[in-house]
């Protein structure tokens, strides 16, 4: 289903043309409300958490593509830090294409798909269920094939997403993984309250960043490539910001952990190679500061975002975000400047971030 077709289902024909990027921008702004809608699902999260505990299915296998896979990077930390479980972004191809038969008893599958129609994610879930896993669909469409195939369904509640590049679906996926992890650790009530505070902070953050972002983006109108660095829980943010730039701005943006940068890619840097650094006030900050110092030595222009953006020495641009009530929630705020930068840069380059060339809202590719 192409993006145009997907919209045709939900909108009347002959609707007036809208300004390029207006849907993408509107959906960035809807994220706080989407987060609050997710919180209304907390009873379902509690039930799924209880089922995971009852089955002792404590190896968490996450699958998804694109933004969904980026959210899964966050899940590694949410489950690692809250219940202390091993969570992995599982290989879809190992199971679906190669037909490997892994024993998945003791595993919970969290299958992430906005539409619930991504074919190999559905296929993976069905195979994993037969291999003994407890399977959970996390999707906006609770009537989808993915939802039908799973043992349990968690509704993302992001609401209709019309821009091809995901924003509110991504942040609700991150929040959903955090919320589920918190419930498995008996911390669901506290996490819910913390998420509510983050939604409120985010509602103030969007207009504040929006006011400044076009001036920042203009400086990068001619940038064809970029590194986006983050570490730990913020690696998910680095991946997601890079994907938004690839999708909407035709920038070859590559996500790297702060440490990866030193292990090779730093050699590619020069003044024409900007580095977007996510610096959050947590245990990984020293690694991020070390990496940005190396990037600066190589002549790169640094854009620092995150709650510790001001700690990045020599950044050309600084886009700080507020400190959340718990460090594990910082990725929900850190991603906002990146989303808005992608919106502003696309417009600066004369591109329409609502409908990137060559992309559809629902990707059926293998």
Of residues 340-359, which lie at the interface with its own copies (CB under 8 A)? 356-359
Question: Would you say the C-alpha torsion 303, 76, 28, 167 has a positive or negative sign?
Answer: positive
Q: List strands edge to edge, sheet with 107-112.
A: 87-89, 59-63, 107-112, 134-139, 152-155
Measured from the CB of residue 263, what is the shortest distance to its own copies in angstroms? Answer: 3
Instruction: By CB under 8 A, name the one of 34, 92, 147, 303 that touches its own copies.
Output: 92
254 binds its own copies (CB under 8 A): yes
- d(C-alpha 80, C-alpha 233), whole Å: 10
Closest approach, Cβ 32 to its own copies, in A, equals 24
Residue 273 engages its own copies in binding (rule: CB under 8 A): yes
Per CB under 8 A, does 269 bind its own copies?
A: yes
Residues 163-182 that bind its own copies (CB under 8 A): 165
Contact between residue 125 and residue 111 where contact means Cβ atoms under 8 Å apart: yes
Q: Which is nearer to its own copies, 186 or 204 (CB)?
A: 186
258's CB contacts (< 8 A; 6+ apart) are: 229, 230, 231, 277, 284, 287, 288, 290, 291, 292
Beta strand pairing status for 134-139 and 107-112?
parallel
d(CA 271, CA 77): 33
Selected from 160, 204, 286, 314, the binder of its own copies by CB under 8 A is 286
Name the residue nearer to its own copies (CB basis): 103 or 143.
103
Q: Which range binds its own copies by CB under 8 A, 3-11, 155-163, 174-182, 288-296? A: 288-296
The only residue of 270, 310, 313, 314 in contact with its own copies, by rule CB under 8 A: 270
One residue of 51, 120, 123, 281 binding its own copies per CB under 8 A: 120
- Pattern 34-63, its own copies, x by CB under 8 A: -------------------------x----
Largest CA distance in the chain: 55
Contacts with its own copies, 296-325, as mask; x by CB under 8 A = -xx---------------------------
Choose which of 2, 93, 215, 221 interacts with its own copies (CB under 8 A): 93
- Shortest distance, position 97 Cβ to its own copies, whole Å: 4
Q: Is residue 248 near its own copies by the rule CB under 8 A? A: yes
For residue 197, give both structure tokens.
């505070």
Burial (CB < 10 A; 0-12, 13-18, 19+), residue 44, is: middle
The Cα–Cα gap between 123 and 246 comes to 27
Instruction: Tell me how far apart the alpha carbons of residues 243 and 64 are, in angstroms, rounded to a whole number.
Output: 14
Give the range of 9-17, 171-179, 260-268, 302-310 binding its own copies by CB under 8 A. 260-268
Rounded-to-5 percentages of helix, strand, coil across the chain: 50, 15, 35
- Pick the closer one to its own copies by CB: 316 or 351: 351
97 belongs to the binding site for its own copies (CB under 8 A):
yes
Distance, in Å, from the CA atom of 201 to the CA atom of 206, rounded to the nearest integer, reads 9
Residues that bind its own copies (rule: CB under 8 A) add up to a total of 74
């Amino acid at each position: 289903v192409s993006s145009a077709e997907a919209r045709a289902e939900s909108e009347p024909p002959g609707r007036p043309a809208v300004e390029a990027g207006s849907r993408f921008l509107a959906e960035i702004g809807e994220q706080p409300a989407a987060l609050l809608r997710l919180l209304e699902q907390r009873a379902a999260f509690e039930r799924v958490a209880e089922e995971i505990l009852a089955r002792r299915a404590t190896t968490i296998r996450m699958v998804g593509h694109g933004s969904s896979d980026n959210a899964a990077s966050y899940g590694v930390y949410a489950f690692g830090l809250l219940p202390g479980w091993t969570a992995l972004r599982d290989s879809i191809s190992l199971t679906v294409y190669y037909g490997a038969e892994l024993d998945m008893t003791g595993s919970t599958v969290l299958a992430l798909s906005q539409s619930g129609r991504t074919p190999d994610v559905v296929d993976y879930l069905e195979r994993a269920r037969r291999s003994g896993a407890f399977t959970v669909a996390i999707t906006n469409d609770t009537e989808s094939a993915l939802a039908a195939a799973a043992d349990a369904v968690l509704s993302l509640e992001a609401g209709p997403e019309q821009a091809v590049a995901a924003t509110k679906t991504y942040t609700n996926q991150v929040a959903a993984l955090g919320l589920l992890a918190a419930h498995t650790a008996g911390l669901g009530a506290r996490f819910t309250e913390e998420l509510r505070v983050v939604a409120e902070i985010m509602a103030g953050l969007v207009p504040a960043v929006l006011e400044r972002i076009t001036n920042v983006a203009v400086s990068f109108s001619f940038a064809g490539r970029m590194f986006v660095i983050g570490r730990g829980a913020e690696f998910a943010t680095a991946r997601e910001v890079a994907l938004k730039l690839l999708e909407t701005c035709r920038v070859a943006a590559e996500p790297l952990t702060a440490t990866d940068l030193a292990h090779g890619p730093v050699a590619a840097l020069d003044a024409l190679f900007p580095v977007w650094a996510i610096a959050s006030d947590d245990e990984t900050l020293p690694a991020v500061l070390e990496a940005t110092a190396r990037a600066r030595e190589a002549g790169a222009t640094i854009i620092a975002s995150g709650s510790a953006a001001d700690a990045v020495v020599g950044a050309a641009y600084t886009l700080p975000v507020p400190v959340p009530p718990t460090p594990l929630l910082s990725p929900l705020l850190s991603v906002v400047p990146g989303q808005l930068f992608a919106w502003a840069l696309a417009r600066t380059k004369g591109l329409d971030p609502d409908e990137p060339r060559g992309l559809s809202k629902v990707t059926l590719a293998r």
